[in-house]
């Protein structure tokens, strides 16, 4: 599943191709047709990312909602010739500049603005967005007996963190994923929020997840850091810092990775 940095990147990249212009909206697959008809040909005013959600503000006053889930995928074409839909395309967006097809999302709808308000009310702060208050995250974590590795995957605690950033942020903070939320002191909560914020924002800039520094990766400048050495603990056999074998746990239905030496219980 894409993490928050990918969603913010999509909003930015697609916004350049769609925002401020009339956009043709259709559903080649048919499942989104009646929603599409309501905004087809109207102007897209902006695309707002929040956590793993995308909101499309239409000049009609309605707001589109997309959540990619595990299998959702966008395909962008800037060819003059409109590409034929490939597979089951739920939503097609067409401007003068591009054709963007969405297939396999968990959610895709055009709604009254109250639907967006309701979704946002259920989400924790999004660390990529400016001026977010982490207080809601801190309150939830410090009242919970659940492990911090479980809490970080809960979008109502913090929005946008997925499996890779969970592993990497906990590694950098030296926190065992099973440590109960309520055991974290205020300085640790602050450190965790700052770590997540820095990592996710770097992800938006890079367009991929690299959590290690170039020096730590050992890859010379000018060469892209390969995925296999781009993380401290995630999907590694041995810890980048100390060489201890990385332990795997099943937390929140996803494999969690941690170093038992750098992240003691």
User: Which of 61-69, 194-202, 222-230, 238-246 is the region at the interface with Zn ion (rule: CB under 5 A)?
Assistant: 238-246
Reply yes or no on whether 52 is catalytic. yes
In the set 9, 52, 129, 236, the catalytic residue is: 52
Reply yes or no on whether 73 is catalytic. no
CB closer to Zn ion, 21 vs 242: 242
Least distance to Zn ion, CB of residue 260, Å: 8
Reply yes or no on whether 2 is catalytic. yes
Least distance to Zn ion, CB of residue 164, Å: 17
Least distance to Zn ion, CB of residue 213, Å: 16
Mask: binding to Zn ion, 108-147, rule CB under 5 A, as x and -? ----------------------------------------
CB closer to Zn ion, 109 vs 244: 244
Least distance to Zn ion, CB of residue 217, Å: 16
**Secondary structure of the chain in HEC code, one letter for each residue:** CCCHHHHHHHHHHHHHHHCCCECEEECCCCCCHHHHHHHCCCEEEEEEEECCEEEEEECCCCEEEEECCCCCEEEEECCCCCCCCCCCEEEEEECCCCEEEEECCCEEEEECHHHHHHHHHCCCCCCCCCCCCCHHHHHHHHCCCCEHHHHCCCCCCCCCCCHHHHHHHHHHCCCCCCCEHHHCCHHHHHHHHHHHHHHHHHHHHHCCCCCCCHHHHCCCCCCCCCHHHCCCCCCCCECCCCCCECEEEEECCEEEEECCCCCCC
Number of residues that bind Zn ion (CB under 5 A): 7
Residue number with the smallest Cβ distance to Zn ion:
239
> Do residues 72 and 111 lie in contact, with contact meaning Cβ atoms separated by under 8 Å?
no
Least distance to Zn ion, CB of residue 261, Å: 4
CB closer to Zn ion, 172 vs 239: 239
CB closer to Zn ion, 145 vs 213: 213
CA torsion sign for 226, 232, 233, 234 is: negative
- By CB under 5 A, the residues from 239 to 258 that bind Zn ion are 239, 241-242, 244
CB atoms within 10 A of CB 12: 12
**Token reading at 255:** 């494999």
CB closer to Zn ion, 111 vs 191: 191
User: Which of 85-93, 95-103, 158-166, 233-241 is the region at the interface with Zn ion (rule: CB under 5 A)?
Assistant: 233-241
Tell me the catalytic residues: 2-3, 52, 254
Contact residues for Zn ion, defined by CB under 5 A: 239, 241-242, 244, 259, 261-262
């Amino acid at each position: 599943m894409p993490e928050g940095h990918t969603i913010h990147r999509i909003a930015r990249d697609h916004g350049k191709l769609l925002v401020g212009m009339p956009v043709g909206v259709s559903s080649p697959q048919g499942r989104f047709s009646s929603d599409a008809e309501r905004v087809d040909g109207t102007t897209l005013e902006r695309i707002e990312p929040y956590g793993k959600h995308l909101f499309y503000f239409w000049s009609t006053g309605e707001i589109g909602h997309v959540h990619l889930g595990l299998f959702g995928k966008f395909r962008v074409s800037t060819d003059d010739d409109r590409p034929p839909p490939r597979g089951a395309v739920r939503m097609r967006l067409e401007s003068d500049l591009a054709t963007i097809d969405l297939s396999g999302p968990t959610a895709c709808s055009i709604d009254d603005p109250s639907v967006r308000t309701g979704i946002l009310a259920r989400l924790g702060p999004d660390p990529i967005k400016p001026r977010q208050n982490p207080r809601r995250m801190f309150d939830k974590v410090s009242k919970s007996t659940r492990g911090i590795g479980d809490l970080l995957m809960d979008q109502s605690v913090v929005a946008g963190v997925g499996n890779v950033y969970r592993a990497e942020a906990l590694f950098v903070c030296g926190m065992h994923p099973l440590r109960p939320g309520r055991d974290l002191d205020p300085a640790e909560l602050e450190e965790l929020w700052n770590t997540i914020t820095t990592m996710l924002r770097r992800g938006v800039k890079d367009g991929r997840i690299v959590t290690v520094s170039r020096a730590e990766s050992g890859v010379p400048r000018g060469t892209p850091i390969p995925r296999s050495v781009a993380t401290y603990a995630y999907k590694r056999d041995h810890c980048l810092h100390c060489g201890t074998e990385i332990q795997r746990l099943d937390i929140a239905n996803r494999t969690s990775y941690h170093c038992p030496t750098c992240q003691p219980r």
